[in-house]
Amino acid sequence: MKGTQGIYGTLADAVVFTHFLWIIFLFTGGIWGRKYVSVKVFHIFGLALAFVVQVFGLYCPLTYLEVYLRQKANPYGVYAGSFLAHYAEKLIYINLPRGLVVFLTILLCGLNAFLYLGWGKKRPRAARC
């Protein structure tokens, strides 16, 4: 179908959008996780997955799914995604040195550990007589 990306292209765009939301959740989930235990568990799992993916040089499962759907949408390899997905992909698959990405991932995990372990909470002062 010339001029249209079909169902696979639409699904690939949805995966890119989901991937973008996932990354936002990894950065902001610690805020929700302090209040809701279920979010905390899911967020910690996500951080652990991101840590393993980055440290061992793997690809996120969402990346594999998107590539598969893009290939099904256009087996000849010409970019057939939507305008928004094209620019969202540039944010998701940012071109940074691997060492910097690993460092930033470890920093993100450390900051969330700081949040979850309560090191940033103000402790009540002892009452003065």
pLDDT at 121: 58
pLDDT at 44: 94
pLDDT at 123 over 60: no
Residues 29-74: pLDDT tens digits? 998 888 899 999 999 999 999 999 888 988 889 988 988 998 888 8
Query: Quick one: which of 87, 85, 88 has its CA closest to 9?
Result: 85
- When pLDDT is cut at 50, 70 and 90, the band that residue 18 belongs to is very high
What is the arithmetic mean of pLDDT over 9-37?
Answer: 90
Residues 66-97: pLDDT tens digits? 889 988 888 776 555 554 566 666 666 677 78
pLDDT at 16 over 70: yes
User: Domains of the chain: which residue ranges?
Assistant: 6-116
pLDDT at 3: 45
